Amino acid sequence: MADKDYILNISDRRPTGKYITPILKGLGYTLKNFFSKPITIKYPTERREVSDRWRGLHRLKVDDRGALKCVACGLCAKICPPKAITIVPYEEAGETRYPKEFVIDELRCIFCGFCQEACPKDAIELTKVYDFVDYKREDFIFDIEKLKTPEKYIFNGK
């Protein structure tokens, strides 16, 4: 592309003497827009579909019996770049190991999804929930109970 194609010569900007038609054209254009369908959506009652690979709020998955799949191996906490995961494991001799405490600080989390990648038991996943809001910082520290039901924290406009 030659220079003259995108550098506007100042002489091109001089008034052309045409005023009425451009004004009417402009009014017509805005009126057409007024009667066409808005391209924005009525969030939060309507929401855009996000990608299946969306990385939002975490969910701790449960198995058929309703117990956490997590075995508190600590791999996710280990790989987490901002160290957002804190795990306190619990194990009785001969029993299954499970996390006594599993806390994710959602304000520290950068939603990289490494925890999901690292987990050997497929026990943690990132959901599509992206608009969770609250009033206090403490409310963003998610424990096991909150992590089981991330859908509860979808913003509903209240």
Partner 1 sequence: MLEFMTILIIKTLVAFTVSLLIVAYSTWIERKVLGHVQLRHGPRRVGFHGLLQPIADGIKGFFKEELIPDNADKPLFLLAPIISIGAAVTLIVIVPFGDKITIMGHEITLYLTDLDVGILFVLGISTIGSYGGILGGWSSGNKYGVIGGLRGSAQMISYELSLALAVIAVVMVSGSLSLIDIVNSQTGLWNIVKQPFAFVLFIICGLAELNRTPFDMPEAEAELACGFNVEYSSMKFALFFMAEYCHMFVFAALVTTLFLGGWHGPFIDGPHWFFLKCFVIIFFCVWERSTFPRLRYDQVMSFGWKILLPFGLLNILLTGLWMLIFNM
* Contacts with ligand SF4, residue ranges (CB under 6 A): 70-76, 79-82, 84-85, 87, 104, 109-115, 118-119, 121, 123-124
Strand partners, 104: 85, 142
- Beta-carbon contacts of 94 under 8 Å, excluding residues fewer than 6 positions away, are none
Residue 111 contact partner, candidates partner 1, ligand SF4, none, CB within 5 to 8 A by sort of partner: ligand SF4
Residue 31 touches which of ligand SF4, partner 1, none (Cβ within 5-8 Å per kind):
partner 1
- Rounded Cα gap, residues 122 and 76, in angstroms: 11
What is Dmax (Cα atoms) for the chain?
91
Least CB distance from residue 80 to ligand SF4, whole Å?
Answer: 3
Among partner 1, ligand SF4, none, residue 158 binds (CB under 5-8 Å by kind): none
Of the two residues 124 and 129, which places its CB atom closer to ligand SF4 in the complex? 124
Helix (H, G, I), strand (E, B) or coil at 87: strand
Task: Please tell me the distance from the alpha carbon of residue 21 to that of residue 7, in angstroms, as a whole number.
Answer: 26
For ligand SF4, the closer of residues 118 and 154 by Cβ is 118
CB of 121 vs ligand SF4, minimal distance in Å: 4
Q: Compare residues 67 and 133 and give the one whose CB is closer to partner 1.
A: 133
- Partner touching 38 among partner 1, ligand SF4, none, CB below 5 to 8 Å by kind: partner 1
Give the residue from 116, 142, 135, 140 showing the smallest Cα distance to 127.
Answer: 116
| Closer of 24 and 88 to partner 1 (Cβ) | 24
E strands, 27-116, in order: 58-60, 85-90, 98-105
Helix (H, G, I), strand (E, B) or coil at 91: coil
